[in-house]
Amino acid sequence: MSSTGEGKSPIRILITGAAGQIAYSLLYQICSGDVFGQDQEVIVNLLDITPMLGVLQGVVMEIEDCALPLVKGVFPMDKEDEAFKDVDVAIFVGAMPRKEGMERKDLLSANVKIFKSQGIAIEKFAKKTCKILVVGNPANTNCFILAQNAPSIPRENFTCLTRLDHNRAIGQIASKLKISPKLVKNVIIWGNHSSTQFPDARFATVKANDKEMPAYDALKDDNWLKNDFVSIVQKRGAAVIAARKLSSAMSAAKAICDHMRDWWFGTKDHEWVSMGLISDGSYGIEKGLVYSYPVQIKGGKISIVQDLKTDDWSRDLMDKTQKELVEEKNDALKATSN
Ligand SMILES: NC(=O)C1=CN([C@@H]2O[C@H](COP(=O)(O)OP(=O)(O)OC[C@H]3O[C@@H](n4cnc5c(N)ncnc54)[C@H](O)[C@@H]3O)[C@@H](O)[C@H]2O)C=CC1
Ligand SMILES: O=C([O-])CC(=O)C(=O)O
């Protein structure tokens, strides 16, 4: 037993798409204790497709070369049955990324089948307590298909990543006000991780000159918050692809860490974050859809922040993104029906 983590059993974490670019930015943070704590040892299962096993070997060598005390094992794999066995946390990154000019839902037919097969595998092999985060696009609908195929895993264990959009929203407000991002809180991403998402700053607050105030009051630019802000956040992924010729990876990995850390340790008092969840019907959203909501977390339990007021403008945007999710769900069910 190492000097850290005395008395705690190691947790087993699965990362799919482990030979890809997001995983390359993610693994150091997971293995160094930045996400699950400096006293939590980890065993990491790295799943990718067979042709990537050689690349995975290189990733394993690099983790070994980091000489990280919390790492109790790293296993490169190409078999879902082995990869999902007894995992405590599963991060589903493995999927095709989009190219310039595509929408994320254009990936649906290629990627959704992966999530059907992996849903069947978690149903058979993962612990029923496994915490699941879907990153691969279209993330909400892939998460829906994963959950459909793993009926014995509790619904509240399924989440998808909209934290990158949440962080982008914070970044935009902070940079407009020329303040640190840590002084901005309670933005919301509603709906789909797509260009129909609704980045909502109506309840966001900022701390400026030592005073906490609504972001709307601090910015004094409602037009920007209702138009450019929304559209910049909605289209940020596409802007990164246009510039980098590859989709976001460093910021996606950082957002994955923020999402999992908050799930593991809880959110701060009076603060919320955004997560894609299987809807329980809150805010009139179709039950069962994977929709991004503002959430607070205590003791591992995720609760949707309730009773935030909607007006005609916000309701319309919340409904538009829901409509797209219903269409994606129907297309995904068709694509996975045999
Ligand atoms: N939800 C979000 O906020 C974000 C989602 N993404 C999405 O994440 C996904 C991964 O992105 P990158 O790492 O940049 O892509 P990448 O192409 O660099 O890596 C993807 C990896 O997945 C592997 N893979 C493919 N099929 C697999 C399967 N059946 N099982 C296991 N592994 C499999 C590939 O071989 C590859 O190594 C993409 O779908 C991308 O669109 C990217 C950024 C943000
Ligand atoms: O835009 C993409 O395709 C990758 C992604 O999900 C993001 O950067 O938010």
Q: Which of 97-106, 159-168, 183-192 has the lowest mean pLDDT?
A: 97-106
Give the whole-angstrom CA distance, residue 260 versus residue 301: 12
Statement: residue 2 has pLDDT above 70? no
Query: pLDDT tens for residues 256-306?
Result: 999 999 999 999 999 999 999 999 999 999 999 999 999 999 999 999 999
Give the whole-angstrom CA distance, residue 186 versus residue 74: 37
pLDDT at 7: 64
Give the whole-angstrom CA distance, residue 49 versus residue 51: 6
Residue at 31: amino acid letter: C
- For the chain, give the mean pLDDT: 96
Percent of the chain with pLDDT over 90: 94
Which amino acids bring their CB within 6 angstroms of ligand 2?
A: 97-98, 104, 137, 164, 237-238, 240-241, 247-248
The answer to whether 15 and 45 are in contact (CB under 8 A) is yes
pLDDT at 4: 47
Report, as an integer, the average pLDDT of 175-186. Answer: 97
Query: What is the residue whose two structure tokens read 């179709």?
Result: 286
Catalytic, 270? Answer no
Report, as an integer, the average pLDDT of 40-69. Answer: 98
Residue whose CA is at the smallest distance from ligand 1 atom 16: 20
ipTM above 0.95, yes or no: yes
Number of H helices, E strands in the chain: 12, 14
Do 171 and 155 lie in one domain? The reply is no
* Domain containing residue 27: CATH number: 3.40.50.720
Do 227 and 320 lie in one domain? The reply is yes
Of the residues 160, 185, 205, the one at which a domain ends = 160
pLDDT at 122: 94
98 Cα nearest atom in ligand 2? 3
Give pairs for 54-61: CB < 8 Å, separation 24+: 55/19, 56/18, 56/19, 59/18, 59/19, 59/23, 59/24, 59/27
Do 302 and 225 lie in one domain? The reply is yes
Please state, in angstroms and as integers, the Cα–Cα distance from residue 63 to each residue in 48, 66, 69, following that order.
16, 5, 11
Counting ligand 2 atoms within 8 A of each CB, the residue from 248, 258, 259, 274 with the most, and so the one to mutate, is 248
CB atoms within 10 A of CB 287: 10
Report, as an integer, the average pLDDT of 16-27. Answer: 98
What lies within 8 Å, CB to CB, of 249 at 6+ separation is: 21, 22, 24, 25
Do 153 and 260 lie in one domain? The reply is no
Query: pLDDT tens for residues 124-150?
Result: 999 999 999 999 999 999 999 999 999
pLDDT at 3: 42
User: Can you give the residue range of the structural domain that contains 213?
Assistant: 163-329
164 Cα nearest atom in ligand 2? 9
The radius of gyration of the chain's CA atoms, rounded to the nearest angstrom, is 20
- 3-class state of residue 42 by DSSP: strand
Query: pLDDT tens for residues 233-251?
Result: 999 999 999 999 999 999 9
Overall domain count for the chain: 2
